[in-house]
Structure 1
Amino acid sequence: MAGPSAKPDPFVQPRVRLDKWLWAARFFKSRVLAADLVASGHLRLNSQPCRKSAHGVHLGDVLTFPQGRQIRVVRVLALGEIRGPATQAQQMYQDLAPATDPPLE
């Protein structure tokens, strides 16, 4: 059993709760809304359905979920447990959804 003076395991990746990361990255206004989305089964983590908001998110994971009228596909670039400014939140992920061109007039 590891005590307070134990060395961290170099093979264990740091992780953050899924609902906490979605909230900190400013995809949802509250953790409750983020947890509700996950519980509804409309979120995929690395192409696999995920229904547990306590599931851990690691660096490099890809999340696919609906937000408003669009489907978001993002890669996790940084882990965050606190909700900071929008500019800081945008640095936590890479948007992988294809860019849509505005309609021609």
Structure 2
Amino acid sequence: MTRRALFTGASADASSQDHDHISSAVVSVLPVHIEAVSARLLGLPGVEIHHRSEHKLVAVLEGPGSGALGAMLAEISSWPGVLSANMVFEQRLDQDN
């Protein structure tokens, strides 16, 4: 079940099993690149931006596991203008609820 489905009360479907981990991350960005990085983040599946400042983004990521989320953050870290992308919190969603 995805985080959205959990919070909205929607039932799980087969595709929701692809996103059974949730993580928050802080992405530090050079101010001149904040727009481009924000747009690129929002283009990734399972990513939402929940806070934005001049040089930092707080994002929530959903994925199939810790490894996938870590790989996503490693990729984000390599984008132009990104100084760092660090996981702050990660949790496996309980599939039984």
Mark yes or no: TM-score above 0.5.
no
Which of structures 1 and 2 has the larger relative contact order (alpha carbons within 8 angstroms, sep 6+)? Answer: 2
Which entry has the higher C-alpha Rg, 1 or 2?
A: 1
- State the TM-score, normalized to the length of structure 1: 0.29
